[in-house]
Amino acid sequence: MTEKVLSAGAQKIQDTLLAKGFQCRVMELEKSTRSAAEAAQAVGCHIAQIVKSLVFRGKTTQKAYLVVVSGANRVNEKKLSETVGETVKMADADFVRKTTGFVIGGVPPMGHTMLLETLIDTDLLKHEKIWAAAGTPNALFCLTPEELAAMTGGRVVSIT
């Protein structure tokens, strides 16, 4: 059986994972994995095991914050603002692409255009395995919460 060739965006994430010493394997599916519900259905896991990579923008500094949150949760923007020390709002598609190099629905937790301060939802630590986007709206990879923390350098916080 031959392995399917990955698209450029998914291959970039696979290469980044391997270069950083992670053995995670990127899978590119025929189905969309753009939403947490679609991703969970595609890989047969609970929605809480999906890592949503969301970009927020600081109102004062215009700084990008990457928030990786369980697919079952919504980010509490007030709590997030208190955590980062400035008012934040969800970033628009252009800002997301500029700061990460990826489109919404395919933003991975690492491998971005810019170094982003990353915050990790405490609920992701409850799972043995989790799934994150891998550069396109139909690519993802399986990892552990410990790998997520290591690859992002993120700070684990309660933001839901």
In a domain, residue 152? The reply is yes
Which domain, by its residues, includes 142? 8-157
**Would you state the pLDDT for residue 2?**
44
Per residue in 57-87, pLDDT (tens digit) is 999 999 999 999 999 999 999 999 999 999 9
Tell me the three state secondary structure of residue 115: coil
- pTM for this predicted structure: 0.94
Q: Tell me the sheet residues that pair with 90.
A: 56
CATH number at residue 82: 3.90.960.10
> Average pLDDT, stretch 109-117?
95
Q: How many helices (H) and strands (E) does the chain have?
A: 5, 8
pLDDT of 73: 97
Structural domains of the chain, count: 1
Q: Is residue 121 part of a domain?
A: yes
Say if 3 falls within a structural domain: no
Tell me what pLDDT residue 4 has: 76
Q: What is the mean pLDDT of the chain?
A: 95
Asked whether residue 123 is assigned to any structural domain, the reply reads yes
- CA-wise closest residue to 140 among 126, 149, 129: 129
Residue 2: inside a domain, yes or no? no
Buried b (16+ CB within 10 A) or exposed e, 93-132: eeebbebbbbbbbbbbbbbbeeebebbbbebbeebeebbb
